[in-house]
Each structure stands twice: as C-alpha cells, then as structure tokens.
Structure 1
Amino acid sequence: KTLGVHYEKGLNGFRGVYQTINVCFSREAGNGFELLNRAQDLDEEGLRQAKMTYLPTDFLRKYQVSFK
C-alpha cells in the first residue's frame, strides 16, 4: 500500500533534476502503491519547502520518550 523513499541523488547544477527523478521514480516504482512515504527533511528548510510542493496527504507524528 505504501512505498518508502529514503533518498535520491542528482546533480544540483541541473534545474528540475530532483523533480524529474521523483516523477520518473514514482511512475516506475510506484505503480500499484497508493502512497509514497518520503524520507524526513532533517529540518532543512529548502527540502521541507520542496516536499510541500508535492501536496502531502498526511504527516507522521513523531515523539521522543525518555526514561529516567
């Protein structure tokens, strides 16, 4: 039901390279899946903004628990 995408690599000097990688990968590898789960943005603002352009349907809520 869900395909996890952890990373992609492209040459930054080419405009639209990451969008193209994502579209092509989604068409080929994503066939038959309902959702793509993109890796976390590691608090990088540019990456977060780029990922928001894909109009996400939901976000995973993460929590940190500490025991003393």
Structure 2
Amino acid sequence: MFIIPSLFEPCGLTQELNNALKRAFDYYTRNPENWRKLVQNIMRLDFSWDSSAQQYEELYEKAVIKARAAANLA
C-alpha cells in the first residue's frame, strides 16, 4: 500500500508505480543474491549533478547539430 496525496489520478501512473514496487519486492525476496549484485552495480553509477549536466550538454549539442543540418537541407 502507498498513499498518493491527490483525489484523482486518471492516467494510471499510481497503478504503474504500485506494479513496479510489487515487481521490485518480488525480485528482492526471490533473488537475494542477484538483488545484492544489482544494488552494487547501481551504486557504481554516477548520478551526480556534474554527470547529469555533462549528459544534458552532450544531448543539447547533438540536437543543435541535427537542427543545423536540417536547416541546411531546407
């Protein structure tokens, strides 16, 4: 069970969040060794602001390159 602070959620987001939590708990209880490996692997990932900013900058640069290329074709 989880509590959502709204009266109405028509898009199914809360149901999907509930389903994701059920799958996670199921995996945790049925595959404890794999769960530990999963946690260790995820903890190695870099979710810092620096990393996020770098990824955003790279994505933005790609978008600019594509936009310029499309403008040159027009």
Fold shared per TM-score above 0.5? no
Q: From the two aligned structures, give the one with the greater helix fraction.
A: 2
Name which one, 1 or 2, has greater alpha-carbon Rg.
2
Q: From the two aligned structures, give the one with the greater strand fraction.
A: 1
Q: What is the TM-score of this pair, normalised by structure 1?
A: 0.29
Q: What is the TM-score of this pair, normalised by structure 2?
A: 0.27
